[in-house]
Amino acid sequence: MNKLIPVTELTLDPGAQELLLKAHEEDIETAFDRAKEQEPHCKFGLTGVCCRRCLQGPCRITYNGTKGAKRGICGATADQIVARNLLSLIVEGAAPHVEHAREALHTLLEVAEGKAPYEIKGKDKLITLAKQLGLTVDGKEVNALAEEVALAALEDFQRQSGISRWLRLRGQEKSVQTWSELGILPTNAHLEIANAINKTAMGCESDPVSLLLGIMRMGLVEGFDGLHLSTDMQDVLFGTPKLVKTQYRMGVIKEDYVNIAVHGHIPMVSEKVIEWSRKLDREAKALGAKGINIVGICCSANELLMRQGVAVATNYASQELAIITGALEAMVVDAQCIMPSLAKVANCYHTELISTLPNIKLEGASHVNWTPEEADKMGEEIVRRALVHYPERDQARVQIPSDTVEAYTGFSVEQIVELLATLNQEDPLLPLIEAIAKGDILGVVAIVGCTNPKVKQDWANTELAKELMKNNVLIVASGCSAHSLGKFGLLSPAGLEFCGERLAGVLTAIGQANGLPALPPALHMGSCVDNSRIDNLLVALANRLGVGVRELPVAGASPENHSPKALSIGTFFIAQGVDVHIGVNAPITGSPLVEQALTANKGEFAVTTDELFGGKLIYEADPVVAAHKLIDRIIKKRKALGLVCPEDLGSVAK
Amino acid sequence: MNKLIPVTELTLDPGAQELLLKAHEEDIETAFDRAKEQEPHCKFGLTGVCCRRCLQGPCRITYNGTKGAKRGICGATADQIVARNLLSLIVEGAAPHVEHAREALHTLLEVAEGKAPYEIKGKDKLITLAKQLGLTVDGKEVNALAEEVALAALEDFQRQSGISRWLRLRGQEKSVQTWSELGILPTNAHLEIANAINKTAMGCESDPVSLLLGIMRMGLVEGFDGLHLSTDMQDVLFGTPKLVKTQYRMGVIKEDYVNIAVHGHIPMVSEKVIEWSRKLDREAKALGAKGINIVGICCSANELLMRQGVAVATNYASQELAIITGALEAMVVDAQCIMPSLAKVANCYHTELISTLPNIKLEGASHVNWTPEEADKMGEEIVRRALVHYPERDQARVQIPSDTVEAYTGFSVEQIVELLATLNQEDPLLPLIEAIAKGDILGVVAIVGCTNPKVKQDWANTELAKELMKNNVLIVASGCSAHSLGKFGLLSPAGLEFCGERLAGVLTAIGQANGLPALPPALHMGSCVDNSRIDNLLVALANRLGVGVRELPVAGASPENHSPKALSIGTFFIAQGVDVHIGVNAPITGSPLVEQALTANKGEFAVTTDELFGGKLIYEADPVVAAHKLIDRIIKKRKALGLVCPEDLGSVAK
């Protein structure tokens, strides 16, 4: 355990800092310790030039051009190895979202068929979606319509030719045209995944440009049959989020309650946990607790936060620390971003770590199986187990950091439009477009993705946000990055103190028209799959303006990215023509070709995503420098649209 | 270039040795040079404990337990990392075969619909298959029946529940029972692939036992919707192989012919190349050549060899050397095992390297696109290009090793049964079973898989075969390993000199009953996907005996394995209850749990594949030692069946 590094250098979150000290005292290892233990990282791995695809190797190729092998045993060059590895990584990012979407659609299907105990809460969304899909809506029962919608979605896992239905549904026409010309329109999500793996297999595709196009295609699979499909199915099942007030930080764990943390990504699990926590609340009181308290971690948090206002304990890097409070009776996990170490940490306390998905088992965890049909059984069983553990809690080891921070969330596109409609009922997007056109809003940047023990937790996410806000850039946020902003008041009207005057004026005007002191400077739009909502917002703005998404003065950023999902989501946005910043570099620097194709940094190669799609990858570890790189690109796009720029307004930065 | 190592230590193949010297003289780098350049290999990679799944790492875990990190940053242990990496590797092995099968079935479908210019040559197979699938056959046109069969196969890429149709079609009932009890029956090949990737993704499945069951499930996907489906579709399209005589070694390239090498795996490509080479043979003569000569490499070779008697130049490790003869006008590649270095080597000669599959592009190669519809256009274009290059050949640089070796191939199960039927028309398997029961055939070992520049080419394959033959073990062979045996006379009756007396007697009896001097001691059963034929043979024998496949005195071996496909095929056979030897270790030694689960080598863990399935992995680099390990297991299985054993016969080894 590395006790020499002050905890203030590991995380910005004071609650996490406090719990790291507790972990050190109790001799419990965390990801922050293990991150230091892996330094220095293998440079072959970091730069993408390590290949373990077959048993001739493993092969390590030169990454600096001066020594070592130039080709793997099969003859693969650095360009080929890096491109193949990146495609594998993007597939590993997209596949979990695709499977998430498929689980959601099967749940909807079973609900529609009367087999699964969920209520279809998003009837409006269902009807809108059915109409968008061209289905006949009138005179149909909700369940019959839901079944039709789910079966339409299922085609994206079965069709053998043609184009993904969800891409046709959600893609902007101008973008679809670009993708069609490049021959990267996906057919069927599962087929594309198998096909991509076939490309990367030993002795298969070696053309790095073709591999790069495969990467962009996988970005479209991620975007449409991963993100969009997940959000659409979940909005139908659980309702479209609306503005809601909630709390952030470890202090949301309550000493006098039975505490259950939901962690992972799949709301079909976490919605049932909260439902049963309400049903069994009295039993908690019978045990002497004040009730049952559900807190969220990662995107399970986001799903419940957006729709139910459930409070958020923390985000990815400090997930173990929630257990170290000693006050969690259960941590319920489903899929993705679940540290395998959780079982070991939970074992130091009375906390029961419970896995739920049939396909995602955790070593050392107990398992209460979720299937759509068994959802109630699962929910009840999990909550009952937590109740059993409450009396086992060792009060002497309980230490819950005290503070919490207020946040406003629930900013679905539907909610944003509703808020804007108070300013212009007929043309709700117009006030936003006018604010952008006038330069009151310089542009929009999505801050999304993760935290990463390699980066001081929450620091890069919040620093980037604040620098952008200062320059009148509106922030939309999702995932664990949104949690970073939430913990530090940037999802609250209090965050206006960080904004440039022009942006603050717009946010105040919209907020006050809706009975709020102001809108927060960062609009929390949901979980990682809800990056679909950000895409919907961009497409709506672009369509209203009559331009392509690639022309908009917008960008994306993942300052503390760790998950390949952040890369696959980023690839989707680059394919849309949106620049994407990452604060932790992808393993691409071993190949000048791949690096330049994605970043357009050097002039050696002809083809870049910037030219083909209008978007590029920007790697920059310093969040303030990154903010200005994004602002420069936004200004460039503003100029191309003929919009006023900061120099015209006499305010480059506050 | 490593000129210090004598070529006789790199390969057993005298033609390859000669061409390696030519490569050295001409300063052309080959895989044999690059293999030495990568030594020593990264131990983290070799033992499976390197993880590059996310941007927290890369992480390297201790592989010997004495120093270094015990867990990755996320907390993943060596067991978890090794199991996840192995599942990824098995997916990368299975996916190319699954995509191969899907391409074959789509070709059949388009042929049936009259869209693609192939003749359905395997009408008998089509009818048998349709009956086995429970389809109504009587009164149907061939095309209508073919369409029904192809659509039945397509369900295995579309169904969302239930069990793979091809597994139900080809799996032995007793094995299916075992797989069902373990919950590993696959549903849909693409779904299982996506699902496996979801399991391996960062923060998803961490239970190594569950991951190991995922590996076994992927083995079943490989076996049924990869191997079996490919063979079945191809036999319908191109006919079921029959006994055919052919030639082996580099000498099959002919100085006075236009030479085209077909390399890869997909017969839909190579069948059209040979068809057009015949159609355009006169044009070669017009150029002063004696004609057009097609030679094969890897499994494209096997497909044409089995059905058309096309000669084989060489196998995987020496694929570059075929170009170095200076006498190839074109090398046509499709998918899998294509060294990315080929373009660089071809560039040193007049040889045109031509890729064909829309999804598999090669850097530096020209591309003539194959689709089922465009197959004739592709075939003609490729052969015409080769004709154009013939006059460009630099005769001064032509050096073709002179010798060739005769081989008998085409041993489909149907052919084997037909040969046996001359001994017993009513019950053709009985003579074989009696020979096994009496100990004239001690057992059957399949020698399959690759060559690998890490191992002296052809040496381990042939040494293992000879040691087994000496001990009266009948060899069946496929893939590049079969090529090794072919090059050294073990696919010819001349190979009887290596056999034990009892085995030689059986082979002579069966051969002479069919007008041959003898059967060869190794029966070449086809390409790597044709390991399905070996499975069919085992199932037929087991069913005839009324036992499970796991009880048979048989084993598999891949002495020079390099491809993950060899591992996924091996997994399939282990799931059937067949022991599988590999001569190059899989990256599993970093995890005692995974290693022991697969090899049953140590006693620490309860569950092994040996107990669950009846088969295990045997790693042994020394082929003679490996032969005796396999013989020991065969004798154990013989004893369990109550069959006589070598000690009873007074002949442990000749």
Q: How confident is the model at residue A653 (pLDDT cuts 50, 70, 90)?
A: very low
Q: For residue A85, how many other CB atoms are within 10 A of its CB?
A: 26
Confidence of residue B3 (pLDDT cuts 50, 70, 90): low
Using the Cβ of B43 and the Cβ atoms of chain A, whether some distance falls under 8 Å is answered with: no
Q: How does pLDDT run across A375-425, given as a tens digit for each residue?
A: 999 999 999 999 999 999 999 999 999 999 999 999 999 999 999 999 999
Best to test chain A binding among B33, B41, B52, B187 (most A CBs inside 10 Å): B52
Distance (Å) from the alpha carbon of A92 to chain B's nearest alpha carbon: 6
Confidence band of B629 (pLDDT split at 50, 70, 90): very high
Q: Which residues contact B238 (CB under 8 A, 6 or more apart)?
A: B121, B122, B267, B271, B303, B307
Nearest chain A residue to B78, by CA: A340
Q: Could B563 and A203 be called an inter-chain contact, meaning their C-beta atoms sit closer than 8 Å?
A: yes
A425 against B64, higher pLDDT:
A425
How far is it, in rounded angstroms, from Cα A473 to Cα A476?
10
Q: Is A161 on the interface with B (CB under 8 A)?
A: no
For residue A68, the model assigns a pLDDT of 82
In this complex, the residue of B45, B106, B210 whose CB is nearest that of residue A361 is B210
Give me the torsion for CA of A23, A28, A30, A36, rounded to 10°.
Answer: 100
What is the enclosing helix (H) or strand (E) of A293?
strand A292-297
Instruction: Say how far apart CA B581 and CA B630 lie, in whole Å.
Output: 8
Chain A touched by B373 (CB under 8 Å): no
Section A131-147 average pLDDT:
97
In A182-250, where does DSSP find H-type helix?
A: 189-200, 208-220, 229-238
Of A58, A96, A344, which is closest to B75 when you measure between CB atoms? A344
Q: B34, A73: Cβ pair inside 8 Å?
A: yes
What is the spatial distance between Cα A167 and Cα A220, in angstroms, rounded to a whole number?
A: 8
Mean local confidence (pLDDT), A581-603: 92
The tokens describing A494, both together, are: 């209090």
Give B102 to chain A, closest Cα distance, Å.
10
| Strand pairing report for B473-478 and B292-297 | unpaired
Tell whether the model's pLDDT for residue B157 goes beyond 90.
Answer: yes
pLDDT at B313 over 70: yes
Chain B residues within 8 A of A98 when measuring between CB atoms:
194, 198
Which of A539-553, A598-612, B140-154 bottoms out in mean pLDDT, i.e. has the lowest? Answer: A598-612
The answer to whether the CB atoms of A42 and B58 lie below 8 A apart is: yes
8 Å CB contact of A336 and B201: yes
CB atoms B42 and A58 under 8 Å = yes
Shortest distance between the Cα of A557 and any Cα of chain B, in A, equals: 15
pLDDT surpassing 50 at residue A565: yes
Q: Is the pTM above the cut of 0.90?
A: yes
Nearest to A96 among B157, B204, B335 (CB): B204
Please list every residue in chain B whose beta carbon sits closer than 8 Å to the beta carbon of residue A41: 57-59
* Spatial CA neighbour of A559 closest among A616, A630, A622, A499: A622
What is the average pLDDT score of chain A? 96
CB B248 within 8 Å of CB B116: no
Q: Which of A448, A446, A478 is nearest to A562 (CA)?
A: A448
Q: Which of B97, B101, B57 is nearest to B76 (CA)?
A: B57
Residues A351/A356/A360/A364 CA torsion (nearest 10 deg): 30
* Residue A651, pLDDT score: 54
Whole-angstrom distance, CA of residue A625 vs CA of residue B382: 54
Q: Domain A408-649 falls in which CATH fold?
A: Rossmann fold (3.40.50)
Residue A201 in contact with partner chain B when CB distance is under 8 A: yes
Confidence at residue A250, expressed as pLDDT on a 0 to 100 scale = 98
Residue B64 has pLDDT above 80, yes or no: no
In this structure, are residues B440 and B502 in contact, taking their beta carbons and an 8 Å threshold? Answer: yes
Structure confidence at residue B67 as a pLDDT band (50, 70, 90): confident
User: B281 is written with which tokens?
Assistant: 């043979």
Which chain A residues in 203-232 lie under 8 Å from chain B, judged by CB atoms?
A: 203-208, 210
CA distance A294 to A310: 7
Distance between CA atoms of A136 and A158, rounded to whole angstroms? 22
Q: List chain A residues with CB under 8 Å of B191.
A: 157, 190
| Cα distances (angstroms) measured from residue B301 to each of B13, B254, B386, B533 | 17, 16, 18, 17
DSSP assigned state of B39: P
pLDDT in tens, B251-285: 999 999 999 999 999 999 999 999 999 999 999 99
3-state percent helix, strand, coil for chain B, nearest multiple of 5? 50, 10, 35
The DSSP symbol for B334 reads -
Crossing angle, helix A229-238 and helix A142-154, to 10 degrees?
160
- Chain B positions touching A191 (Cβ under 8 A) are 157, 190
CA of B258 vs chain A CAs: smallest distance (Å): 26
The pLDDT confidence band at residue A603, using thresholds 50, 70 and 90, is low
The 3-state DSSP composition of chain A as helix, strand, coil percent (nearest 5) reads 50, 10, 35
Rounded Cα–Cα distance for residues B467 and B249 (Å): 23
Question: Taking CB atoms and an 8 Å cutoff, what residues of chain A touch B346?
Answer: none
Confidence class of residue A66 from pLDDT cuts 50, 70 and 90? Answer: low
Judged by DSSP in three states, B220 sits in: helix
Q: Give the pLDDT band of residue B418 (cuts 50, 70, 90).
A: very high
Check residue B250 and report its DSSP letter.
G
Any chain B CB within 8 A of the CB of A14?
no
Sheet holding B292-297, edge to edge: B366-367, B352-355, B330-333, B258-264, B292-297, B311-314, B244-248, B405-409
In this structure, are residues B371 and B358 in contact, taking their beta carbons and an 8 Å threshold? yes
Pick the closest to residue B161 from A372, A152, A142 (CA basis).
A372
For residue A654, is pLDDT > 50?
no
Q: Are B408 and B520 within 8 A, CB to CB?
A: yes
User: What percentage of chain A carries pLDDT values higher than 90?
Assistant: 95
C-alpha distances (whole Å) from B468 to each of A485, B452, B475, B503, B627 are: 68, 21, 8, 10, 6
Domain B84-238 and domain B408-649, same fold? Reply is: no
A81, containing H or E segment: helix A78-112
Could you tell me if B18 and B314 are in contact, meaning their C-beta atoms sit under 8 angstroms apart?
no
Beta strands in A148-197 (DSSP E): none
CB atoms inside a 10 Å sphere around CB B330: 28
C-alpha Rg value of chain A to the nearest Å: 24
B201: phi then psi, degrees, rounded to nearest 5 = -65, 155
Give chain A positions within 8 Å (CB) of B34: 69, 71-75
**Structure tokens given for A291:** 């009730």
CB contact under 8 A, B198 and A58: no
As a whole number, the mean pLDDT across chain B is: 96
Q: Is residue B103 predicted with pLDDT exceeding 60?
A: yes
The whole-number pLDDT of residue B654 equals 39
B621-648 burial by CB neighbour count: b if 16+ within 10 A, else e? eebeebbbbbbebbbebbeeeebebbee
- A154 chain-B contacts, CB cut-off 8 A: 160
Q: What is the pLDDT of residue B379?
A: 98
Could you give the percent of chain A with pLDDT greater than 70? Answer: 97
Q: Which residues in chain B have Cβ-Cβ distances shorter than 8 Å to A564? A: 53-55, 201-202
Note whether B206 contacts A154, CB cutoff 8 Å.
no
Q: For A376-402, give one letter per residue: b (16+ CB within 10 A) or e.
A: ebbbbebbebbbebbeebeeeeebbbe
pLDDT in tens, A91-111: 999 999 999 999 999 999 999
Number of residues written out for chain B: 654
For chain A, say whether B378 makes contact (Cβ under 8 Å): no
- Read off the pLDDT of each residue in A450-455 and give the average, rounded to a whole number: 96
Q: Is the pLDDT of residue A228 over 60?
A: yes
Q: What is the pLDDT of residues B172-195, one digit of tens each?
A: 999 999 999 999 999 999 999 999
CA A614 – CA A633 distance, rounded (Å)? 11
Q: Order the strands of the B554-558 sheet from edge to edge.
A: B522-526, B473-478, B443-447, B554-558, B579-582, B617-619
In Å, what is the CA distance from B95 to each residue of A76, A202, A223, B92, B259? 20, 11, 23, 6, 32
What six digits make up the tokens of B498?
A: 């290596």
Q: Which residue has the tokens 């409609």?
A: A421
Answer whether residue B245 shows pLDDT above 80. yes
CATH top-level class of A250-397: alpha beta
Contact B341/A74, CB-based, under 8 Å? yes
- B-chain residues within 8 Å CB-CB of A336? 201-204
Nearest to B45 among A29, A58, A564 (CB): A58
pLDDT score at B607:
86
Task: Tell me the domain boundaries of chain A.
Answer: 84-238, 250-397, 408-649
Amino acid residing at B205: E
- B107: helix, strand or coil: helix
Contact A563 B202 (CB under 8 A): yes
Sign of CA dihedral A290, A294, A297, A303: negative
CATH class of the structural domain A84-238: mainly alpha
Q: Give the integer Cα–Cα distance in Å for B574 and A641.
A: 63
Q: Distance between CA atoms of B468 and B450, rounded to whole angstroms?
A: 19
Confidence band of B603 (pLDDT split at 50, 70, 90) = low
Q: How confident is the model at residue B605 (pLDDT cuts 50, 70, 90)?
A: low
Determine whether the interchain pair B340/A453 forms a contact, defined as Cβ–Cβ distance below 8 Å. no
Q: How confident is the model at residue A606 (pLDDT cuts 50, 70, 90)?
A: low
* Helix or strand holding residue A582 (H, E): strand A579-582
pLDDT for A151 equals 98
